[in-house]
């Protein structure tokens, strides 16, 4: 049902939603340009294994360039209104996650322990006593103003049998999740992609990890 409602939402809004990608460049980085031209100013350098959103709508299908939305905060900390660097990269450098082969080997394990949301002893701020604006001082992901139904109690990760710890600050305001993931691997980096919630509460999250721990957390969505 979640996936069906997500698809309906997409078609009822603007018929497109930005996809998630990393880069494929032998130099280890690719240039982000101000305009879709090789002669345009370079405004940023995207490094290997960093994830970002790109626009795949039909208006760009005939172009050699893709519009990219690069979060200015690698760990997506703060409010739900994040700032992005918007530019262009050549499509030959684009490596969409959903075009990569899913990684299903047993040396990588990732799961949530979920529990029912308990409002007791929580600081819940409301707008006009009708819409939840924050919980424990943090923005709320996964709802459209109502109280969440489920929350993450902990995240369990193992790479080659070694446990990887994720600080609670990175998941304490993520709600309406499940344990349906798509995992990809590039070099020594793992990408755990997930669609969460549905309707107006829909959001994407990508956990980028290697044996050293959490490298990046991409959170939100671009319509």
Of 102, 97, 64, whose CA–CA distance to 206 is shortest?
A: 97
Give the Cα separation of 68 and 21 in Å (integer): 9
> Domain containing 204: what range?
108-220
Structure confidence at residue 17 (pLDDT): 65
pLDDT > 70: what percent of the chain?
87
Of 99, 130, 145, which marks where a domain is finished? 99
Number of domains in the chain: 2
In order, the DSSP letters of 25-40 are -TTSEEEEESSSSTTS
Give residue-wise pLDDT tens across range 131-163. Answer: 999 999 999 999 999 999 999 999 999 999 999
pTM of the model: 0.89
- Lowest-pLDDT choice from 52-66, 88-102, 106-120, 209-223: 52-66
Give the Cα separation of 200 and 68 in Å (integer): 23
pLDDT surpassing 60 at residue 45:
yes
Same domain? 75 vs 124: no
pLDDT-based confidence at residue 114 (cuts at 50, 70, 90): very high
pLDDT surpassing 60 at residue 8:
no
Of 79, 99, 119, which marks where a domain is finished? 99
């Amino acid at each position: 049902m979640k996936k069906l409602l997500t698809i309906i939402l997409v078609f009822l809004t603007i018929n497109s939603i930005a996809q998630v990608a990393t880069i494929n460049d032998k130099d280890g980085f690719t240039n982000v340009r101000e305009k879709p031209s090789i002669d345009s100013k370079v405004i940023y350098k995207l490094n290997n294994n960093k994830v970002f959103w790109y626009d795949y709508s039909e208006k760009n299908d005939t172009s050699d360039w893709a519009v990219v939305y690069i979060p200015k905060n690698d760990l997506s900390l703060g409010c739900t209104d994040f700032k992005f660097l918007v530019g262009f990269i050549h499509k030959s450098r684009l490596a969409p996650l959903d075009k990569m082969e899913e990684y299903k080997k047993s040396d990588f394990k990732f799961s949530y322990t979920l529990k029912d949301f308990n409002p007791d002893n929580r600081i819940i701020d409301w707008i006009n006593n009708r819409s939840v604006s924050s919980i424990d001082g943090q923005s709320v992901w996964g709802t459209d103003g109502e109280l969440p139904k489920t929350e993450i109690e902990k995240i369990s990760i193992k790479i080659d049998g070694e446990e990887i710890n994720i600080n609670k600050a990175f998941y304490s305001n993520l709600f309406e999740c499940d344990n349906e993931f798509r995992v990809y691997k590039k070099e020594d980096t793992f990408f755990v992609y997930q669609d969460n919630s549905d309707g107006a509460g829909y959001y994407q999250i990508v956990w980028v990890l290697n044996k050293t721990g959490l490298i990046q957390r991409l959170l939100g969505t671009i319509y």
